[in-house]
A and B are shown apart, each in its own frame.
Chain A
């Protein structure tokens, strides 16, 4: 074995790296941004390929017992279909409102960005999209999936890429949200604070509405971001749908703990819409 003695320049590099471990983030973020842009030409097509491969549905053998389970599930879903159709009219109206809001709201513009890379090390779930400050993306801008589902927030920007912190990551922190009533009336919506659990869901306690009777939240109700920037309409991007409701024993103001699940899987998100304020002062959302 040949064990060459490291030279002085190597030891200097090691000392510099040890020092760099404790350097302020902006210094290293600059280099990370440039490196990310360098790898985009290869990582972006690979990422696209990954999304395509992952999206290929699993083929089941006709004898597979899972197929029987799926057929039972189909029957159950058909039964629910009738119920859903009645709700569809309400949802269509809400969708129109959301789309209309997007069209008429002059304070934001939306640009579509492809997901081009992932954070390679550690446990963070952060990912990169292929548009950055050159396209006017500011830190704090919301990333939306299919135009209405909140995916995350821009947490770092380089000229040609931006890092998104997903809302499902615990690092995102608490989210102020509104549970929309089943008839879609915003005046009956219930305010709550949600915490990302880390498994792709959120949990939170529903606060008492002082002006109304305490409304019972139910499984299936939509939960939206409480977006004060949108003024009176107050229809922030969708966070998810209530998956379970556990009554709390404690007295008001807290009486229900809800679990909310987004309508997307983070691994399926290949493209996001970035919501960018038109205001010159920026500052995100």
Chain B
């Protein structure tokens, strides 16, 4: 896998995540749901790339999502938490690596299907970790405890994954055309990575 191409796509998809939200958002404000392009990219890389590179790629993409997510805190400030999505993405990527041998990756629906499964696998641990952080910091009496309702966030995460899976179909089709740039080597007949 070519890491420079990966870096370019990571930057592009992070900008899509933070920039295109007003256009793609369903609902508004707190109830708005938008797709996660970084999740789609993670699933695409995990379904195509070599296993050892996939882990690092998932970690990097998850960390980018962590650092571009802000949460309001009880003291009226905003907090960024590094880690939850990065760890969730690693789990999601591991699941994708396990499943990718069972699916035909070149099909546009495959990226959508894998996004649904890997997204659930990635977002549930992230919500769990952020909930743990909230509980621990509240227990310690910290003023910068994030305002976070786990049940709300789980529903939001589910809708985000669902929406991402839908968007992953056309995005996956486009990404499939870039496999050569990424340097992914596919088995000529089976469509599996070598």
Contact = CB atoms under 8 A, between A and B. Distances in A.
B136 A22 contact: yes
A110 B161 CA distance: 40
Contacts of B156: 122-123
Interface in B54-74: 55-56, 59, 63-73
Given A42-B12, A153-B76, A18 B50 contact: no
A104 interface: no
B18 interface: yes
Interface residues of B, number: 71
A265 B28 contact: yes
Interface of B is mostly: helix
Interface in B36-91: 36, 38, 50-52, 55-56, 59, 63-73, 76-87, 90
Nearest to A6: B55
A117 B19 contact: yes
Interface stretch (B104-112, B125-133, B169-177): B125-133
Contact of B153 (A123, A198, A199): A123
A45 interface: yes
B31 interface: yes
A120 B22 contact: no
Contacts of A77: none
B178 interface: no
Contacts of B28: 200, 265-267
Given A14-B87, A123-B152, A25 B73 contact: yes
Interface in A3-55: 3-4, 6, 10, 13-14, 17-25, 28-29, 31-32, 35-36, 38-39, 42-47, 49-51, 53-54
Contacts of A35: 64, 67-68
B21 A50 contact: yes
A168 B29 contact: yes
Given A39-B68, A124-B71, A163 B78 contact: yes
B72 A169 contact: yes
Contact of A14 (B19, B90, B193): B90
Interface in A90-140: 116-126, 128, 139-140
Nearest to B73: A25
Given A3-B97, A10-B55, A17-B83, A155 B78 contact: yes
Contacts of A173: 76
Contacts of A25: 73, 77, 79-81, 144
Contact of B70 (A22, A24, A32, A50): A32
A32 B130 contact: no
B101 A166 contact: no
A121 B50 contact: no
B189 to A, nearest CB: 16
Given A43-B19, A50-B19, A156-B77, A117 B133 contact: no
Given A47-B19, A121-B68, A267-B22, A32 B80 contact: yes
B8 to A, nearest CB: 11
A170 B147 contact: yes
A171 interface: yes
A83 interface: no
A199 B30 CA distance: 7
A261 to B, nearest CB: 12
Interface string B147-189: 1100011001000000000000000000000000000000000
Interface string A39-81: 1001111110111011000000000000000000000000000
Contacts of A50: 19-24
A21 B88 CA distance: 12
Contacts of A36: 18, 67-68
A140 to B, nearest CB: 8
Across the A-B interface, give the 7 residue pairs with the lowest CB-CB distance, nearest first.
A46-B19, A171-B72, A121-B69, A50-B23, A25-B79, A32-B80, A21-B83
Interface of B: 11-12, 14-25, 28-32, 34, 36, 38, 50-52, 55-56, 59, 63-73, 76-87, 90, 97, 100-101, 126, 129-130, 132-133, 136-137, 142, 144, 147-148, 152-153, 156, 192-193
Given A24-B142, A121-B36, A165-B78, 4 more contacts: A21-B81, A28-B67, A119-B71, A170-B30
Interface of A: 1-4, 6, 10, 13-14, 17-25, 28-29, 31-32, 35-36, 38-39, 42-47, 49-51, 53-54, 116-126, 128, 139-140, 153, 155-156, 163, 165-166, 168-173, 198-200, 265-267
